Amino acid sequence: MFCEEPILPGEEVGPLSRGQAHLECEVRNVVGSAAHQLGECSCFGGDRHDPPGMSRRDCARLAYEAFRLLRQKDEQDSP
C-alpha cells in the first residue's frame, strides 16, 4: 500500500488492509508522516517532509515509531 515492498514471512501486517500491507505502512497511511504527527508539515504551516534518502518503508517505520511514542506520551499525561 505504501512502500511497495513485499511482505516477508514473520512481518506484521495491518488489520485494515487484510494482510496486504506492512503494519507500519498501514499506520503511516492513516496517521501521516512523522512530520505531520508533530505538526511540522505543510498541513500546519511547516515545511518538513519525510527525510530525504530514506526508503518509503523506512519512512513508514519512522511514522509508526512517532505514533507509538506520541500515543505512549498521551497515555502517561492522561489522568
What residues contact 12, with CB distance under 8 A and at least 6 apart?
22, 23, 24
As a whole number, mean pLDDT of residues 15-19 equals 90
- pTM value is 0.87
The reported pLDDT for the residue numbered 1 is 66
Q: Are 28 and 66 in contact (CB under 8 A)?
A: no
Of the chain, the percentage scoring pLDDT greater than 70 comes to: 99
- Cell digits of residue 5: 515492498
For the chain, what is the mean pLDDT? Answer: 93
Residue 65 identity (one-letter amino acid) = E
As a whole number, mean pLDDT of residues 17-34 equals 94
